[in-house]
Amino acid sequence: MLELLNKSIAREIQVSVQYMWQHVLWRGVKGFAVKDELKSIAVSEMKHAEAIAERLSYLGGIPTTKPNPIFIGTTLKEMIKQDAKDEEGAITLYKQVLDLAKKEGDEVTHRLFRNILADEEDHHDIFTSLLEEI
Ligand SMILES: [Fe+2]
Ligand SMILES: [Fe+2]
């Protein structure tokens, strides 16, 4: 479980920086339309990182400071395509965490990741909807 939680933190830090930098580096009219959304999702990912780190620390682990590789992209399409893919990765990983938490009878981790998973599905929905327009 500790390993899965650290994997989760590494990707939360990654997307938090990724979306915030995409928010800063947007270009063009379409970029203007999505820049605020990117910032608000970046902040929500940072909150996820913090909440998972709190849980990991409580369980006796040491939270990683290393993000997964960050991909900013140059065109808006490239950015949002990668972001949708990263949300898919999160959804897959967090379902694994939920399965394990259930098996271990760890209700608090289970509740935490149920809430986070709902956010990631929401982000995935936003990015895939944006992709239809850009
Ligand atoms: Fe997240
Ligand atoms: Fe997300």
Provide the whole-model pTM: 0.94
- 37-93, pLDDT tens digit by residue? 999 999 999 999 999 999 999 999 999 999 999 999 999 999 999 999 999 999 999
Closest to 22 measured CA to CA, from 10, 11, 34, 13: 34
Amino acid letter for position 65: T
Q: Ligand 2 centre and the CA of 7: distance in Å?
A: 14
**Distance in Å, CA 32 to ligand 1 centroid:** 23
Q: How confident is the model at residue 99 (pLDDT cuts 50, 70, 90)?
A: very high
What gap in Å lies between CA 45 and CA 119, rounded to an integer? 9
Cα separation, 9 vs 13, whole angstroms: 6
Residue 104 C-alpha to ligand 2 middle, in angstroms? 25
Q: How much distance in Å is there from the Cα of 45 to the middle of ligand 1?
A: 4
C-alpha 65 – ligand 2 centre gap (Å)? 18
pLDDT at residue 29 in the model: 79
Please report where in the chains the tokens 């479980």 appear, as a residue.
1
Express each pLDDT in 15-34 by its tens digit. Answer: 999 999 999 998 887 888 89
Rounded to an integer, the average pLDDT of 96-117 is 98
Please state, in angstroms and rounded to a whole number, the distance separating the CA atoms of residues 42 and 119: 12
Q: Using CA atoms, how far apart are residues 93 and 117, in angstroms rounded to an integer?
A: 9
